[in-house]
Chain A
């Protein structure tokens, strides 16, 4: 891996100057400088370090230029920025102090919420089919979790197989940039949808009110947490959070790590830690078999990383940062086996214990939701064309149920093509509908036919209903919001 660093700059942390590189976020710049405590919790005043690094948790809230509760994982570091730790909850700054923010009105055919694999593919497909597209993403740049995937992806040549995740993002960005129909708002968050089919966006330098004809929601997922003693200690980090620090911004995250969870995320991050020169003590898995693909397990095993099946994390220890982790064996009922504790001297504990779909946008719009353990949590009910019970609101990617980037890319295209078939007329609409059906046939009958994907397939089946069925659902639970 090579990292192109931006120019050097200086910002202040609690009054002292610190160096950073342009293009880094405040949270990563601080981490690189050895700052592990970003804030103290309200109430007990416990130290808090970074966790998710993608704007989904509140672990990195700090005071930036006097403004409290700033997500520093999403805040670009800049020359002269003043950053301070905050103690507990600080009320938001007074609106009058912050000054007026301009409101701009935007119209678009298709609003894409989230610029990860599903959002990128939806945006490109829709733009190529002649729709005007607006992509809104919270991060500094588009690409979502692809930006930090340094391993080569499975698939066929058409599905970007053999390319590394960040290269797939690069391919999409090139095509989107050269397509005049796509507008992009980065560092911008959709905060809600309103009657009249309006969507509010907090932008980098303005407040936007967007009137889309259709919306593809691809907000992704957040990392799950695990219950163990001192689980809030800095150094307990989401696996994806470490990927941001290490693979996206090129900062070595620690010296010795323990990885909890042997799904593909846990196995891949273990291999990547080793590539970055971090010693991986073990991968801990509570189940009696490896969670991820065998080939990913084989990759870590041949470099000597043990996978401890039927083990879980009992506790971590340290004063302001993880210094030691304690692992314990579990019995058939997942109860700890007394006396089986093992201790590891580590400064990093990575949680790779699954993802939870981000349901907020859909729930707020009043879409009918379903709980699916197979898919990781709450997801919107949808048609085969991925339309939710809110008319012209589509779902794709991890928010539709946890799978992986390749299926997210396919779903993004299905959602975009469904929107195209409804928003356009004549032969274009017909061709889009046919192409969506072809992709769906491939996804359901070929891709998900692998026995190892049976769980995701079952989950997705359980939350997909026919168009006719969806009309009945709409009649029973009319959504408060609709688009178009």
Chain B
């Protein structure tokens, strides 16, 4: 069996997510916040399903990949908070001037609203700086929404608070 590239790099490409049905369609991305579940492997886990408040994530078997109903997903970020793999994100590409990304954060210090933070890509590259606009917490995972330069919405997957 061919080894998928993400098993060599630890980085999943957008094309791969699209192929697996994990990438919201372009039109939906332009409309407002929506969940992007970067979960390409058959992990025996379905925690995002019962916690989704709009019942927008489906899984027949425990090992299935999550299937998101993009029409009913509101991008609330509950999946970001509960995903044990820290693989759920919310992106909002609908605004003219900025993109918005919601990421899980489990490091100290906890970012505060208004903080300027370093934006990290899937590769760990520092791709810019952004402003924290919302922070909430669930079972010690902080859910951080950050305003990022336009065009970085599908790039940024972590933030780092410089001490």
Contacts and interface: CB of A to CB of B under 8 A. Distances in A.
Interface of A: 1, 151-157, 161-164, 167, 274-275, 288-290, 293-305, 307, 309, 406, 446-447, 449-453
B120 A303 contact: yes
Residue of B7, B38, B39, B124 ringed by the most chain A CB atoms within 10 A: B7
B66 to A, nearest CB: 12
Q: 10 closest A-B pairs (Cβ-Cβ)?
A: A304-B124, A295-B85, A297-B10, A154-B45, A152-B84, A301-B10, A450-B42, A450-B63, A302-B158, A295-B87
A304 B120 contact: yes
A161 B45 contact: yes
Given A298-B10, A309-B8, A447-B44, A152 B122 contact: no
Do most interface residues of chain B lie in helix, strand or loop, or is the interface mixed? loop
Contacts of A406: 44
Contacts, number: 125
Interface in B99-144: 106-108, 120-125, 139-141
Given A155-B45, A297-B10, A302-B158, A446 B61 contact: yes
Contacts of A449: 61, 63
Given A161-B84, A446-B63, A452 B41 contact: yes
A432 B68 CA distance: 38
A274 B86 CA distance: 15
Contact of B43 (A154, A157, A163, A300): A154
15 contacts: A152-B141, A155-B62, A156-B50, A156-B62, A161-B47, A275-B106, A275-B108, A289-B3, A295-B87, A302-B120, A304-B124, A304-B125, A446-B44, A446-B63, A447-B62
A294 B10 contact: yes
Contacts of A1: 140
Interface size class, chain B: 35 or more
Contact of B11 (A167, A301, A303): A301
B147 interface: no
Given A154-B85, A289-B7, A294-B6, A301 B107 contact: no
Interface string B5-41: 0111111100000000000000000000000001111
A337 B124 CA distance: 28
A307 B10 contact: yes
A1 B107 CA distance: 10
A426 B50 CA distance: 37
A100 to B, nearest CB: 49
B57 to A, nearest CB: 13
Contacts of B160: 303
Given A153-B84, A155-B45, A302-B158, A162 B139 contact: yes
Contacts of B141: 152
A301 B42 contact: no
Contacts of B87: 295, 298
A302 B124 contact: yes
A303 B158 contact: yes
Contacts of B1: 451
B46 interface: yes
Contacts of A453: 44
B39 A295 contact: yes
B90 interface: no
Contacts of A157: 47, 50
Nearest to B64: A450
Contacts of A289: 3, 7-8
Contacts of A164: 139-140
Given A156-B47, A446-B62, A449-B63, A298 B84 contact: no
A275 B107 contact: yes
Nearest to A454: B1
B82 interface: yes
Given A156-B62, A274-B107, A307-B10, A451 B42 contact: yes
